[in-house]
Structure 1
């Protein structure tokens, strides 16, 4: 992995950092010189991620971002171990898909609790550890900009994520804290592969998605991670309130 130490000496938090885009981001951050705290709900996956990242470069914090007590414990651990944060990547999310006539209260609550409430309070509770001039990256999705079948609640959470970036960029401008959103398109991750339990149907699903992608393929998690590094680093020093699509062109053309 060719790097240029764009995050040398930085302390970062990546929620949902044990798999997929979160883990790829943590790997990129470590390679770029950062020390990374990652959160996740499953201890075994966290332990495996920390082993991959290296215990000298990363710490795993078990918890659910929708549980405020878990967030308090995570922030307290970061404060005790490092005393500050320079970058927050609010990535933790869940996705479930039902047509409007099948939506239940549980379906609605679970996604808004993790994807929106979790993001709001992750950032709020981390703010006291962020020096002026820090950076916050929120993970949205192309689903926040496109209409697709059975995705209304998930898509609504992702539109909310993008809106949070705009509003927090204004709220935090006095502290020169930059807030931006990254919106991935279809990315090859365990989360995507877990959406469909039949290998045959999964292959059909991926073929359908790639057929409408201008680049003709799914994205890789590391391609999203490199965009997050850009927004977390001084390379994007004049960028705030923005939405960076990493989508193979699916929203753009």
Structure 2
């Protein structure tokens, strides 16, 4: 199924994977609502592609208190919005062997940005996404909808150097499985038109790494796939309609072990859900 969403919102759209996704979607014919904190970059994106193809919306997605009003404003301004891409996040080193060096405020913000913000945003956008397929709409007016969550390969195998980041992405990965299971339940016909898609990127050469001074000093800020290589494959998988997109370019022993471990976990999860359903437990 070709990427079917005509109006898409993307957080973290001023750099890296978010910006690359925005430009692919614009090229594919979607109208993109680009969200980020850096207004100058949003203005550059609009100037580059045109206001008829992209809108810049400056917002700090870590501001949870302001989010309900902002979401209401967005859904009122863009009623055809049918896909949200929750991509914004950042990564910092945490060293428990030197606890005095751990900045708890910074790592609280990291968890807030990487996990709590997508959790809040998903919840707040869901009433709008549900309404796109409401019974009082004509068949031609009904739309399928999608929530795209960006986690990480580190959601499966954590990287101790960035333990808090890995934990936040593991939370997103778990949330994606639970959210998909709930929304697709036959007991919830009002939400079955909403797909939950998860991207699990490997290390990709973006600002996620170059913003970390310790990695720059070690020369490890350019480890991973080029953004173009990652995006070529990811866009192809999105275009096919896949719901869980892992990077198949990784052909290392680590990559193979990651996919093997994930397959075992997925089988176990599906068996667990089946057992709960047989017992009549609401999931």
CA contact (8 A) 1:6 1:33 kept: no
Q: Which residue of 1 is the match for residue 152 of structure 2?
A: 141
Matched, 1:129 2:128: yes
SS of alignment partner, residue 208 of structure 2: helix
Matched, 1:33 2:33: no
Greater length-normalized contact order (CA 8 Å, ≥ 6 residues apart): 1
Q: Deviations over 1:218-239 (max 9, x none)?
A: 3233444455545655x31xx4
Q: TM-score, length-normalised on structure 2? A: 0.73
Choose 63-72 or 114-123, whichever is displaced more. 63-72
CA contact (8 A) 1:25 1:228 kept: no
Q: Which residue of 2 is the match for residue 48 of structure 1?
A: 44
1-structure distance, mates of 2:169, 2:215: 26
2-structure distance, mates of 1:155, 1:71: 25
Q: Which residue of 2 is the match for residue 80 of structure 1?
A: 76
Report 1:101-140 matches (<5 A). 101=97, 102=99, 103-130=102-129, 131-132=132-133, 133-140=144-151
1-structure distance, mates of 2:231, 2:65: 28
1-structure distance, mates of 2:215, 2:247: 29
Q: Which residue of 2 is the match for residue 178 of structure 1?
A: 195
Q: Which residue of 2 is the match for residue 244 of structure 1?
A: 246
CA contact (8 A) 1:182 1:246 kept: no
Q: Deviations over 1:67-112 (max 9, x none)?
A: 1344334423332332132211100101111112433421331111
Q: Superposition RMSD on alpha carbons, in Å? A: 2.6
CA contact (8 A) 2:234 2:245 kept: no
1-structure distance, mates of 2:206, 2:8: 22
Unpaired stretches in structure 2, ≥5 consecutive residues: 134-143, 257-283
| Residues 87/109 of structure 1: CA separation in 2 closer, same or farther (3 Å cut) | same
SS of alignment partner, residue 147 of structure 2: strand
Q: How many residues align?
A: 234
CA contact (8 A) 2:156 2:170 kept: yes
- CA drift at 1:168: 0.5
| Residues 172/82 of structure 1: CA separation in 2 closer, same or farther (3 Å cut) | same
CA contact (8 A) 1:21 1:222 kept: no
Q: TM-score, length-normalised on structure 1? A: 0.81
- CA drift at 1:124: 1.4
Q: Which residue of 2 is the match for residue 168 of structure 1?
A: 179
1-structure distance, mates of 2:235, 2:9: 13
Choose 37-46 or 22-31, whichever is displaced more. 37-46
